[in-house]
Amino acid sequence: MAFQYKKRDAGAWEKRASQQGGDYQGFIVDEAKVYTPKKGDNFVRILPPTFENADHYGIDVWVHYGIGPDRASAICLQKMKNMPCPLCEARARAERGGDEDLAGELKPSRRVMVYMLDRKDEAAGPQVWSMPWTLDREVCKISRDKRTGQVYAIDDPNEGYDLSFEREGEGMMVKYAGIQLSRRPSSVDEETLEYISTLPLPMVLRWREYQELHELFAGSGMEQTAAVNKPVAPVSLARRPIAAARPATPPLAAEEPPPPEPPEDEPPFDPVPARDPPPRPIAPAAAAAAVPSGEVTGKSRAALLREKLAAR
């Protein structure tokens, strides 16, 4: 039988081409492409918001980074929904314990998520960019004419402006410099606008429940729990001091069996021994009658001796 080649869907090729190595879990759904600025010069076009009641081209998000052994990222439930967040609880516990390094790692970061086009790779289509809020602040500053007060709508699909900047450094030392707006307006095609309207920014966020966040962080030292239905405060076992081992209790000798346990209705200690009752006081009349004949009360021995000497 001759071999027959079967063509596969183009979407499968695209998914394999955009896959990431490892089991990294982020806070953006897989359907959206994520943009990461390249080292050196970058040229981007910020796209307009396609969700209701938008007062900005992006949305503010609070994100926990570096979660667990896979260094995952997740949206902070406490900052975004005012709900219990196991990562914030672990951070508070680390601060109380004086572990500043762990507390710093668990601190959520504020980002501004936008749709944009990479002018160096427009074939990639619309991408999601979680830009630092400080960079968004600088973009808003240069989008306003300081002399006239005019605001340039950089995200306008027909008369917006491209943005250029330079990325410097690596890792935690990344900086953005030379932020500028293009001097000429640019437009965005209808296909791009249709795509971001089908998948608006709020739908791009990947929300996780309390227990799922708990399990993401478990590999880095959080105490495991079987209680899935109710939140359980995480505990950092990796940095908790180990208690000193207790000395083993020496075994009792065979000829001295342990004393029997006291009954439940009796105290587990020896009772105080009873004391003899104190003597009862004697009335004065009875006391005089009780004195034997020949004994004198109320006089000292010296007085009696002087009386005997005087009688001689």
Domain assignment of residue 56, yes or no: yes
Rounded to whole angstroms, the Cα distance separating 77 from 251 reads 53
**Is position 292 within any domain?**
no
Instruction: Identify whether 263 is part of a domain.
Output: no
Distance CA 143, CA 275 (A): 96
111-150 b/e (C-beta count within 10 Å ≥ 16 → b): bbbbbbbbeeeeeeebbbbbbeeebbeebeeebeeeeeee
CATH number at residue 92: 3.90.198.10
**Alpha-carbon distances of 253 from 28, 134, 250, 256, rounded to whole Å:** 67, 74, 9, 5
Query: Is 0.85 surpassed by the pTM of this model?
Result: no
Task: Tell me how many domains the chain contains.
Answer: 1
Look up residue 105 and give its amino acid.
Answer: E
Average pLDDT rounded to a whole number, residues 13-24: 56
Judge whether residue 224 has pLDDT over 90: no
Say if residues 59 and 53 touch (Cβ distance below 8 Å): no
Q: Is 248 within a domain?
A: no
Q: What is the reported pLDDT for 41?
A: 95
- The model's pLDDT over 49-68, given as tens digits with 9 standing for 90+, comes to 999 999 999 999 999 999 98
Residue 239 lies in a domain: no
Task: Classify residue 137: in a domain, yes or no.
Answer: yes
Name the average pLDDT for the chain: 76
Residue span of the structural domain in which 126 resides: 20-218
Please indicate, yes or no, if residue 35 is contained in any of the structural domains: yes
Q: Is the pLDDT assigned to residue 249 strictly greater than 70?
A: no
Q: Is the pLDDT of residue 35 over 90?
A: yes
225 vs 104, which has greater pLDDT? 104
User: Residue 275's pLDDT is what?
Assistant: 44
Question: 57 near 47, Cβ under 8 Å?
Answer: yes
The answer to whether position 169 is within a domain reads: yes
